[in-house]
């Protein structure tokens, strides 16, 4: 734990509590830290783009207060919406949003944020300007004891504003979410005070600090209410005595007074801002009477935070301090929770725009989130932020060309989970037909060999299915690649399949005879490999694809080598590519008979050859 150093430190960093977090604003950037639904701290940071004119204006007394007030309103509204997005689905843009963005170059969410700010300002003016004026006017019209536009008249309005403000704060404190916002408000103050007192920024140290702070927005609001009494009294007096503006009926006079107040409200804000800055510069006890009302109100708008909240506030403070110190520090963004159906819809479009099969988006979400593909468009399931980040990372790897099943690390083959990585070719759905034919042909007591086993998917499926059917079949598997065999062994072990393995160049290193030989050999023409999809030619093992100049090299070898390793009446089952079955049958003409089986798309896919008895 750090120790208090005793030396006071000044900081220009200020803050704002948001939903489940804190925003800290510095000179050149602001950072918002929130704790997401999974308990992780997320930080979104942005650079503050300020024009030369704004930099000049920000140095002009009174004017800078107004500019800072408006800027804080707009930025604060945006940040509140962003912090809320971490807990809910941002959703995919509607057709209207897309149309506005494309045709009108309008960001609908930014527009809504602006509208929300305007509505908030209008409601505040109604509560704190219009309502007190209306009440004071009613009193002034009763018995003539309260002269309109005088000091008493404005004191009553100011008092009413303060009462309304306090009642408003007390009322919203009844809401659990607002109480938590007030706790984060306390965490913001404690963090800044901890830094200013020269202490290490830790929850333990921050907890010791006061939750009241000189530069709090609550104190600013009190100053606005106090200064408005003084300013509006002078303005009303001048308007009444010297300008004779209130010479009409009560309704018109009321509207004129309202307009004058609105006109001078920026002046009140500017004066209040300058007074707040002056009060914050000194810790003299002589100023405590002036600070006390603001501190008293802060007791309502802040609560004692817990350690988790202090961690969030400290994270925001450190991030904005880092960005102010180093212009090269990049911006960061929240990862929001997403509704699965919206996320998948966006991912489909993203993949389609980049030439990736849209079904990959569905498989990603289905397998990672446990949602059946048939329900992806209707489910209301929310994908949590950490899962969104994981899916985003998978999507970027897929866009870069990496095969989906290598990224996910496994695929399903014939109902069995098969581990997938670059050591072997990814099992294809059409190859299940080859496994099915082998299972159908196998009888109890048979010996079956899977050549070019790769991931071992065929051997695993046959061994397990024969076991389930009560067939005592011995299963063997061979491959020239030691790396592929290591993967096949892992898959056999993971699925509990009893398989014996040989490292062999086709049949050269395999002893004995078998009743069934199954083979899915490389059958792509060498010249055609470069025309294959990027995820195939750039990521899957070339040796599992290259079938020689014409694609038939391995079938020729099978025709020559398989008969010696097949028992009389033994069966050779081989997968082939589109348009290859006829030539493969010709190469297998020395067998007693050949038969071709089509896949679900009607392509001649499996050649069955039977050895003479």
Distance (Å) of CA 215 to CA 211, 227, 233: 12, 17, 26
Binding residues: 479, 520-523
C-beta pairs of 508-514 under 8 Å, 24+ apart in sequence: 508/561, 509/478, 510/449, 510/476, 510/478, 510/565, 512/447, 512/565, 513/447, 513/564, 513/565, 513/566, 513/567, 513/570, 514/446, 514/447, 514/448, 514/449, 514/476, 514/565, 514/566, 514/567, 514/570
Backbone dihedral region for residue 93 (phi beyond 0: left; psi -120 to 50: alpha; all else: beta): beta
Distance (Å) of CA 219 to CA 57, 359, 594: 23, 57, 92
The length of the chain is: 613
Nearest CA-CA partner of 587 in 598, 597, 599, 574: 574
SS (H, E, C) 49-96: CCCHHHHHHCCCCCHHHHHHHHHHHHHHHHHHHHHHHCCCCCCCCCHH
Binding residues for substrate: 520-523
Binding residues for S-adenosyl-L-methionine: 479, 520
For 35, which DSSP code? E
What are residue 34's phi and psi, to 5 degrees?
Answer: -135, 155
Cα–Cα distance, 290 to 223 (Å, whole number): 10
**Cα torsion at 67, 70, 73, 77 (round to 10°)?**
-110
- The first and second tokens of residue 518, run together, are 């199954």
Which spans in 197-249 are helix H? 203-208, 217-241
What residues are paired with 474 via a beta bridge?
447
Which spans in 86-216 are helix H? 95-99, 108-125, 131-140, 151-172, 176-196, 203-208
- The first and second tokens of residue 286, run together, are 């002589």
Q: How many CA atoms lie within 13 A of 408 on its CB side?
A: 21
Distance (Å) of CA 432 to CA 181, 232, 451, 484, 599: 57, 85, 15, 19, 10
Angle in degrees, CA 363, 368, 372, rounded to 5: 55
């Amino acid at each position: 734990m750090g120790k208090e150093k005793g030396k006071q430190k000044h900081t220009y960093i200020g803050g704002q509590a948001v939903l489940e977090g804190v925003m800290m604003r510095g000179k050149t950037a602001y950072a918002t830290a929130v704790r997401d639904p999974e308990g992780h701290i997320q930080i979104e940071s942005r650079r503050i783009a300020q024009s030369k004119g704004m930099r000049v204006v920000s140095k002009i007394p009174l004017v800078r207060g107004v500019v800072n007030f408006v800027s804080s309103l707009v930025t604060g509204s945006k940040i509140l919406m962003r912090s809320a997005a971490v807990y809910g689905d941002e959703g995919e843009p509607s057709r209207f949003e897309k149309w506005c963005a494309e045709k009108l170059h309008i960001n609908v969410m930014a527009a809504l944020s602006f509208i929300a700010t305007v509505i908030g300002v209008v409601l505040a003016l109604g509560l704190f300007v219009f309502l007190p004026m209306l009440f004071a006017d009613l009193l002034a019209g009763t018995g003539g004891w309260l002269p309109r536009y005088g000091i008493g008249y404005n004191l009553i309005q100011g008092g009413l504003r303060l009462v309304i403000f306090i009642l408003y704060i007390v009322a919203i404190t009844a809401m659990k979410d607002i109480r938590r916002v007030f706790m984060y408000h306390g965490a913001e103050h404690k963090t800044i005070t901890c830094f200013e007192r020269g202490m290490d920024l830790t929850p333990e140290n921050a907890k010791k600090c006061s939750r009241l702070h000189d530069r709090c927005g609550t104190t600013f609001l009190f100053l606005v209410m106090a200064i408005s009494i003084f300013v509006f009294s002078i303005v009303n007096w001048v308007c009444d005595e010297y300008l004779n503006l209130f010479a009409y009926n009560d309704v018109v006079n009321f509207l004129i007074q309202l307009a004058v107040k609105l006109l001078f409200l920026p002046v009140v804000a500017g004066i209040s801002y300058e007074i707040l800055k002056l009060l914050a510069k000194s810790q003299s006890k002589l100023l405590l009477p002036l600070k006390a009302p603001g501190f008293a109100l802060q007791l309502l708008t802040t609560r004692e935070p817990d350690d988790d909240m202090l961690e969030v506030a400290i994270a925001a403070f450190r991030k904005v301090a880092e960005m102010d110190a180093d212009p090269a520090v990049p911006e960061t963004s929240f990862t929001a929770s997403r509704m699965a159906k919206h996320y998948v819809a966006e991912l489909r479009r993203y993949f389609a725009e980049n030439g990736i099969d849209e079904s990959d988006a569905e498989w990603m979400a289905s397998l990672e989130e446990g949602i059946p593909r048939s329900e992806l468009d209707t489910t209301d399931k929310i994908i949590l932020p950490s899962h969104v980040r994981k899916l985003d990372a998978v999507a970027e790897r897929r866009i870069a060309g990496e095969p989906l099943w290598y990224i996910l690390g496994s695929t399903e083959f014939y109902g069995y989970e098969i581990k997938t990585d670059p050591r072997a070719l990814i099992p294809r759905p059409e190859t299940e037909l080859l496994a099915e034919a082998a299972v159908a042909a196998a009888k109890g007591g048979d010996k079956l060999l899977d050549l070019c086993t790769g991931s071992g998917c065929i051997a695993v499926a046959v061994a397990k299915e024969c076991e389930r059917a009560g067939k005592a079949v011995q299963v063997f598997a061979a491959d020239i690649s030691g790396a592929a065999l290591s993967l096949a062994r892992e898959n056999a072990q993971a699925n509990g399949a009893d398989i014996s393995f040989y490292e062999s160049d086709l049949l050269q290193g395999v002893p004995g005879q078998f009743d069934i030989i199954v083979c899915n050999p490389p059958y792509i023409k060498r010249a055609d490999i470069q025309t294959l999809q990027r995820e195939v030619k750039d990521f899957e093992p070339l040796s599992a694809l290259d079938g020689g100049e014409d694609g038939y090299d391995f079938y020729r070898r099978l025709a020559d080598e398989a008969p010696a390793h097949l028992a009389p009446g033994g069966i050779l089952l081989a997968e082939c590519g589109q348009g290859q079955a006829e030539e493969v049958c010709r190469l297998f003409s020395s067998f007693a008979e050949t038969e071709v089986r089509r896949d679900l798309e009607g392509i001649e896919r499996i050649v069955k050859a039977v050895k003479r008895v």
